Amino acid sequence: MVGIVSYGTYIPRYRIVVDEIARIWGEDAEVVKRGLGVEQKSVPGLDEDTATIAVECAREALRRAKIDPKKIGAVFVGSESHPYVVKPTGTVVAEALGVGNEYFCADLEFACKAGTAGIQICYAMVKAGMIDYGVAIGADTSQSRPGDALEFTASAGGACFIIGRNCIAEIEGTFSFTSDTPDFWRREGQPYPSHGGRFTGQPAYFRHIFMATKGLLEKLGLKPSDFNYVVFHQPNAKFPMRVAKMLGFGKEQVRTGLVVPYIGNTYSGSSLIGLASVLDVAKPGERILVTSYGSGAGSDSFSFVVTDKIEEFERNPTVLDKIRECEFIDYGTYVKFMRKIRR
């Protein structure tokens, strides 16, 4: 039985509300909030980046796992905001965890689905007997051009999953759907990503999530009603609700894992923090479906079955605790924290 042995999350404590961003750019805040279903987003502090977020969520996962860090055989960090273009974030994380030097490592990049790609790699490596435990992290401090629609949601956060045997949630199966679809990209040396506007919806987000999820359900011979919870990548609150409906899932199945209204789109952390918030309350025997989405484009779909082990597993502080513990900042402070102004 291979699956999630432990998990941890990190959400920076600063928040900016949609109203504040809308005020600066002359947008109607109510229209924006209704359109996106997002109230506020998380903002990293001046001394936080993808590496610090990755380390914090990984340390929480390791503490909860109660395993010797030397037993970790692989570290994969998925992000679209790795601090270095050349030099892996994974090495910083492994050093901070005390993994030693004998481990497999690579940074992954696939827009918002790089973290779930890491889970698939760890899952395969554990199954193949190459490693006992693998660490898969999705973390980002996403950037957005001032005044761009992305600025209302592009936020920061991360989640870490330790994959191995003796798990709290078994991976029942995984399925991916990938294509060359240029809906969102960032070229080398460019500070902000570009996107295809409305093009990001139908041929990109909806098609990939729909096909990956459908593929997984067919492969496992399951139907939407077999799942207690479903988590989709959440660039806003509307997209996951709509794709859930397209696939035949109900709103109640989506709600527990929907964190985007309170922290925004944490990119590589998005579906994974959603999964963590579901695991925070899940009971043995419950089934969870997760489908990530990464622009460019692809989706990874997973079915997890929660085991008895979750009952003695330490789940505090929960994702909800971290959502609540926050400090609001104004747009000026936000611009300074994101280093959008220079002296």
Partner 1 sequence: MLPKFWRKIRFRYGLIGSYCENCGNYYYPPRNLCPRCRRKGKVKEVQFSGYGRVLSWSVVHDAVENFWISKPYVVALIELDEGARIIAPLDCNPREIEEGMRVRAVFRKFGEDGEEGIIHYGTKFVPIG
H/E run at residue 92 = helix 89-97
Q: Minimum Å distance from CB 251 to partner 1? A: 34
**The binder of partner 1 chosen from 47, 102, 180, 312 (CB under 8 A):** 47
φ, ψ for residue 83 (rounded to 5)?
Answer: -60, -35
Helix axes 18-25, 29-36, angle to 10 degrees: 130
Q: Minimum Å distance from CB 312 to partner 1? A: 22
**The two structure tokens encoding residue 26:** 């002359």
80 classed as catalytic:
yes
Q: Minimum Å distance from CB 327 to partner 1? A: 9
d(CA 141, CA 53): 9
Nearer CB in complex with partner 1: 99/122: 99
d(CA 298, CA 114): 10
Contacts of 264 by beta carbon, 8 Å cutoff, 6+ apart: 38, 40, 41, 42, 152, 153, 154, 155
Preceding peptide of 297 cis, ω within 30°: yes
Any contact of residue 55 with partner 1 (CB under 8 A)? Answer: yes
Any contact of residue 83 with partner 1 (CB under 8 A)? Answer: yes
Interface pattern 273-312 for partner 1 (x via CB under 8 A): ----------------------------------------
**The binder of partner 1 chosen from 59, 208, 233, 322 (CB under 8 A):** 59
Any contact of residue 336 with partner 1 (CB under 8 A)? Answer: yes
Any contact of residue 49 with partner 1 (CB under 8 A)? Answer: yes
H/E run at residue 245 = helix 238-247
Residue 116: name the closest of 293, 304, 279, 306 by CA: 293
Alpha-carbon distance values, 140 to 115, 234, 245, 296 (Å): 10, 14, 28, 17
Any contact of residue 141 with partner 1 (CB under 8 A)? Answer: no
82 classed as catalytic:
no
112 classed as catalytic:
yes
Q: Site for partner 1 (CB under 8 A): how many residues?
A: 18
Which of these is catalytic: 56, 57, 112, 195? 112
Any contact of residue 46 with partner 1 (CB under 8 A)? Answer: yes
> How many C-beta atoms surround the C-beta of residue 312 within 10 A?
7
Which of these is catalytic: 48, 60, 80, 286? 80
Applying CB under 8 A, which residues contact partner 1? 45-49, 51-52, 55-56, 59, 83-84, 92, 95-96, 98, 336, 343
Annotated active-site positions, please? 80, 112, 233
